[in-house]
Each structure stands twice: as structure tokens, then as C-alpha cells.
Amino acid sequence: MLYREALNKALDEVMAIDDTVVTLGEDVGLYGGSFRVTEGLVEKYGEERVIDTPIAELSIVGNAVGMAIGGLRPVAEIMTGNFSLLAFDQIINHMAKLHYMSNGKVILPMVVRFPQGVSKQLAAQHSESYEQMLCSVPGLRVLSVCDVNYAYHALKYAILSNDPFVFIEHELLYNKKGEVNFEEQLDPFKARIVKEGEDITIISYLKMVDDVMQSVPAIESALNCSCEVIDLCSLNPIDYETLAASIKKTSRLVMVEEDHKTGGFGSQVVAWAAEEMFYELDAAPLRLAGADVSIPYNRTLELASIPTPDSIAQEIIAWGRKNDV
Amino acid sequence: MNKLLAQEIYYFMVLGRNFEYAAKENYMQGNVSGFLHLDIGQEAFSVAAMKAFEKGDIFATYREHVMAMARGIEPKAVMAELFGKAEGVSGGKGGSMHLFEPSRFFYGGDAIVGGQIPNAVGCAYARKLQGAEDGVMVIFGDGASNGGAFFESLNIAATHKLPLLFLCENNEYAIGTNIKRSAPFREQAKKAEPYMMTLSVDGMKAEAVYETIKEAQKLIEDGHGPIFVEAFTCRFEGHSVSDANSYRSTQEMSHCKAKDPLVHFKKELLERWMCSDKELQEIEQKAQTAVDEAVAFAKNATEPNVAALFEHVFVEEV
Ligand SMILES: Cc1ncc(C[n+]2csc(CCOP(=O)(O)OP(=O)(O)O)c2C)c(N)n1
Ligand SMILES: [Mg+2]
């Protein structure tokens, strides 16, 4: 099953059992969604539950908040992460705060989903990542999806939960193949150990997990070591327990993310490790992240602006040699 | 409009059409990447609007290759940008959606739908404060006129009586969504009516677009404040090269293509401006040569140096 099909199946199943679930966004209905996540849903559930909206992101999320207040479970799709910025007021001032400000009286069972990240030469206004901003807002659950099985289970969970979720997908993962274990009782807040290892803990999320996995054979053979690779999955809350257990075992931490390095989400993980895991670590942690520049169109520059399997391998090998891995 | 200008408009329309086909071909060959929004079918609108609004500042969208060239940006520099080359008008950093040339008062190339409209309002405010002769023109689609930025801009521009021409290119579609499904009416000028004078025009006819923009410009110069012009057009291709255009029926497409602005304007040139076939052939040949040269130039242009990645993040070093 493809990543986008897993998301589609999750939505479809939840819409079938719960008729308060609606989905709204630009071209989600007749067009089937720009990444085909909502394909076939309008035919099944009608235009009243699969709602094509105007190009008005602030209203898409603002309306979803109101729908949730009114007793629905809206799943809002924003076409691309960069366009979610137009909805940030609604996400941060409304979606994240009404429950707390009302002393728990207002409940917002809703999901805002969007893909983000560097795709292929879509340039500065279509390539950025925003988890760092969203994760610093109390009151939002933030999930990031790399794995196909996780996509299915986590989206179902998020839709049926009574809390507001931001559900982050990646532009380049929609056609990724994977198995879904439909029987599994998956905890969406638990980090996923993608590969077990003894010597280096490499933490990542979204598409970078796959890039890290591609770089691992080169790292292991160059350093004669074994790497443990962890997909964070949930970015807020963070599953520190799983991270701590891994670091205790390996004593070494590498954090890899696609986003700009300064203020990037990985700084939270490394700051936590500095506070809580200092005496477990045998080397200063390594952080690999995107350059502090807007994403350029030219392919060579674009690839130079983010970690790639090659650059990840090179940097980790150099760091490993310096730190006696 | 005189014969010479009509011929010039025709030249840029043919140039635009052939340029877009060449861009598409090079996209298929992998020389151009990312999002590529073609202006095929809307050349009359894009060229005549630029030729009528010759001098002021221009704020456009991601569907701007033809406008950029009609504004005087060299086809070579535009094609090289699509190829991501250093000689491109944005140094290869912007690509198809982000053509910038302040020396031609051309400020993008914005790919956040509606995002350029408040920028144009601000620029018009600056021009008013400076007592400038020329105003500002902002181009956006029917889809953009459903967004908050658009409504806020109408209000602010009208309140300050800014020298701003709102130019709505209504091709009835925002990607796959017809305007009738995203707004209560097809005519977007209705939204502007409470705030300013509105004009509407058949955007498939170059002479009509030209005259209407001239009229709007005159009204702005006479101190009427902002004017809203709506041009009805039809794009012949999908929203971008990666859109299969499956939401429009063959019937709708043939109705649309029957309004081909090139066919119409060529007839105008022959009948109204008494151009000879030979004259028109020469123009067409010249346009094709310009496109061929642009492609050859782009192919031979240089890849940006990797150091360019860190250039132009800021103006000043600290
Ligand atoms: C804020 C924002 N939301 C969504 C998009 C995705 N998008 C790009 S173009 C487009 C349709 C725009 O339609 P319209 O304004 O009519 O212009 P046209 O493409 O027809 O020229 C959409 C939805 C975007 N670029 N920016
Ligand atoms: Mg349109």
C-alpha cells in the first residue's frame, strides 16, 4: 500500500463509521486532492462532507475550529506547508488555545494535515518546514509521518481523538510503499525504532528517516559500528523514554532534520540530551540540518541546502572518526 | 493603438506562445523542473496589459513568463531562469514562478496565491507619497479573489485612494475548482464594486484588453483612486504541466480553444491594420528565432556556483 493510500484508507474508514467526520480543503473533492489523499471520498460521502473550499487557508482552519465547536470532527487539508502560514493565526490563537482558555469547556476534536519539505525544485515558497514553530505552541499535538503503517494508524487516532492535531506529511513520501498491519494497536506518541544498533543513536523524522537509512550501510562499514535509527513520529509530545533508552545503550547521539538548522526542531532534542543525558554521552552530539537559507530552485543548490544520504554519511563518518566511534 | 503597436503586441503574443511550448518541451526533457504554469491561451491578456501599462510597477503571479517578456525582460534571461542557470533573471534561485527585475519595475513572480496583492497596495502607497506619475498594477486570478488578502486590499486601496490597478485574470478555474463552485457568482468585479470603479473586458481580445487598461490608467492618473479591471480568459493547458486537466470536458476545451487569441488578433492585423501576410510571417519568424535563441542560450548558460547558496540572504554582512 502507498503512503497516500494508507492516509486515504484511514480517512475513508473513519468517515464510514462516524458521520460527524468531514474533510475540507482546496481541491479535496472533485479533484481528489492535489496528492490524491482524498481520492474517491466525495463520491462516497458527498460534497457536504468532502468540502471543496476557496483558496482561503485562514478560513479553512478557522471554519474547522467552528465545525469542531459545532459538534463535527473536521479534517482540514492545507495543500502545502507554506500555505499553512496563512492559517497560523487560527492554528495558534484559536485551535491551540480555546480548550485551555475556556478552562476545558471548549473541546476541539480536529486535525489539520499538510505536506511540507523540499520536493523537487519547487523553490522558496513551496519547500519549507514548520514543525519548529508548531511544536513550541502548547495545546497542539504534532505528529510527523514517515512510515506507511504509522500513516494509517496515526491518522485514524488523530481524527477520533478529542484534541487538536497537526498532522505533518512530506511531499516526497506520498508514493512510498509499505505494509499496513491493520490489527495493530499502534500508539501514535511512541517513537519508532526503525533499525536497532549498538554504537550510534540517529534520531530523525519525516523523509530524513529514509535518507538516514540509506546512509547507514556506508556509515557502518566506514566506522565498523552499528547504528540505531529512530523515527520520532510524534513531535509533541516527544517520546523521551525511547530516546533515553537508546542513548544509554549507544552513548552517542546524532540528530538529523531537513529544516533550517537555527531554531530547528532538532535543537529541542539536543537540548534535552544536554540537560538529561549529559553523563551518558561519550561525545558531543552531532546535529545535521538544512542550511539557514531559503530553498533555491536550482537543483544543485537545492540539494546543497539540505542533508542528503551522501552528506549524512560523510558528516557522520567524519564526526565518528573524530570521536573514536 | 496604431499599426506599429499592434504588430509589436502580435510579436509578443507569438513569442509568448512559442516560448511556453518550448518551456513545456524542455520540461519533458528534464531541462526545466518544479512547477511550470503555462500561459497558453491567455497571451492577449498578458501582452496587451503589459503594453498598455507600460511604465508603472507590476506585481504578478507564478504564471508570469509572458508578462515578464512583454515587460522587456529578455526571453534568454527568462528561459535561463527556467533552466535554473546563473544567467537567469533570478540567478537560478527563483525558477519559473519567481521572475524578478526591479530595473523593469517587475516584482515577481509570487507563488502564494493572493500574497502579492497587499505588496502592490504598499507600493502604490509609496508611489502616492512620492507623487510619482505612474501607478501600480497587480495581476491575480479568480481564485485569488476569494482570499482575505484580496478583500483587505480593496478596502485599504480605496480608503487611501491609491493609484492601483487591480487586474483580475478570470479564467474561471483555480487548479481544478471552477469559480462557480468557490464563489457565489462568476464575475469577481462584483466584489470590488462597493469600493471602486470596475471595468470588464474580453481577455481573449488584445485590442480590447489594451483599450480597457488604458482607460483604467487614465482614470487612475485623473485621481480616481484604485480601479478594478476584470478580464475573462481561458487557459488552454492544465493548471501546471503536472496537471492532467481532467476536470474540463473535451467540449469545454474546444469551446475555449475556439477563442484562440492569436487567431483572433491575426485577423485583426490583416483586416483592420492591413498587414500583409508577409509582414506577419516575418513577425512570426522573428518570434520563433527569439525562442530558439533563448533555448540555446539557456542550454549553454552556466550552473550557479554552490557558494551562491549563501549569497543574498541579507544585504549587509554583520
Ligand atoms: C496561499 C496559497 N494557497 C494555495 C496555493 C496552491 N495554488 C497555486 S495556484 C492555485 C490556483 C490559483 O487560481 P487563480 O487565482 O484563479 O489563478 P490561475 O492559476 O487560474 O491563474 C492554487 C490553489 C498557493 N500557491 N498559495
Ligand atoms: Mg484562475
Average pLDDT, consecutive stretches of 10 residues, N- to C-terminus, chain A (325 residues): 98 98 98 96 98 98 98 98 98 98 98 98 98 97 98 98 98 98 97 98 98 98 98 98 98 98 98 98 98 98 98 98 93
Angle (deg, nearest 10), helices B3-28 and B206-221: 110
- Alpha carbon separation from A107 to A99, A100, A155, A244, B260 (Å, rounded): 6, 9, 19, 33, 54
Chain A touched by B304 (CB under 8 Å): yes
- Report domain A192-322's class: alpha beta
Number of alpha carbons in the 13 Å side-chain half-sphere of residue A38: 30
Distance of CA A137 to the CA centre of its chain: 15
Residue B222: the pLDDT is 94
- Amino acid at site A125: Q
What is the DSSP annotation of B237-256?
Answer: S-SSTT---TTS-HHHHHHH
Query: Quick check: CB of B111 below 6 Å from ligand 1?
Result: yes
- CB-CB contact of A231 with A103 (8 Å): no
Residue A90: the pLDDT is 98
Residue B75: the pLDDT is 98
Domain boundaries, chain B: 3-310
Residue A305 burial (CB count, 10 A) = 23
Shortest distance between the Cα of B92 and any Cα of chain A, in A, equals 5
Cα of B80 to ligand 1 centre, how many Å? Answer: 24
Residue A198 designated active-site: no
How does pLDDT run across B249-291, given as a tens digit for each residue? Answer: 999 999 999 999 999 999 999 999 999 999 999 999 999 999 9
- Fold of the A3-170 domain: Rossmann fold (3.40.50)
User: If residue A253 lies in a helix (H) or strand (E), which one and from where to where?
Assistant: strand A253-260
Pick the CATH number of B3-310 from 1.10.1610.10, 1.10.287.3510, 3.40.50.970, 1.10.1060.10: 3.40.50.970
**Contact list, B175 vs chain A (CB under 8 Å):** 26-27, 31, 34
Q: Which of A31, A34, A38, A55 to mutate to test the interface with B (most CBs of B within 10 A)?
A: A55
User: What DSSP state is assigned to residue B224?
Assistant: -
How does pLDDT run across B181-224, given as a tens digit for each residue? Answer: 999 999 999 999 999 999 999 999 999 999 999 999 999 999 99
Distance of CA A43 to the CA centre of its chain: 29
From the list B84, B247, B310, which residue is nearest A30 (CB)? B247
What is the C-alpha to C-alpha distance for residues A239 and B312, in angstroms, rounded to an integer?
A: 39
B226 closest CA partner among B82, B311, B120: B120
Q: What are the b/e assignments for A19-28, b being 16+ CB within 10 Å?
A: eebbbbbbbb
Q: Do the first three CATH levels of A3-170 and A192-322 match, i.e. the same topology?
A: yes
Residue B225: the pLDDT is 96
B113, B172, B237, best to mutate for ligand 1 pocket (most atoms within 8 Å of CB): B113
Residue B3 burial (CB count, 10 A) = 13
A291 closest CA partner among A273, A274, A305, A311: A305
- Comparing alpha-carbon positions, the chain A residue that sits nearest to B148 is A56
Chain A touched by B168 (CB under 8 Å): no
Residue B42: the pLDDT is 98
- How many residues are given for chain B? 318
Domain boundaries, chain A: 3-170, 192-322
For the CA of B171, the nearest atom of ligand 1: 20
Joined together, the cell numbers standing for residue A143 give 505528529
From the list A56, A121, A296, which residue is nearest B146 (CB)? A56
Mean pLDDT of chain B, nearest integer: 97
With cut-offs at 50, 70 and 90, classify the pLDDT of residue B153: very high
Section B37-51 average pLDDT? 98
What is the C-alpha to C-alpha distance for residues B132 and A170, in angstroms, rounded to an integer?
A: 46
Joined together, the cell numbers standing for residue A267 give 535543537
Which ligand lies nearest to the CA atom of residue A59 in the structure? 1
- How many residues are given for chain A? 325
What is the C-alpha to C-alpha distance for residues A250 and A236, in angstroms, rounded to an integer?
A: 24
Residue A126 designated active-site: yes
> Which one is catalytic: A5, A94, A126, A228?
A126
Which residue carries 463552485 as its cell?
B181
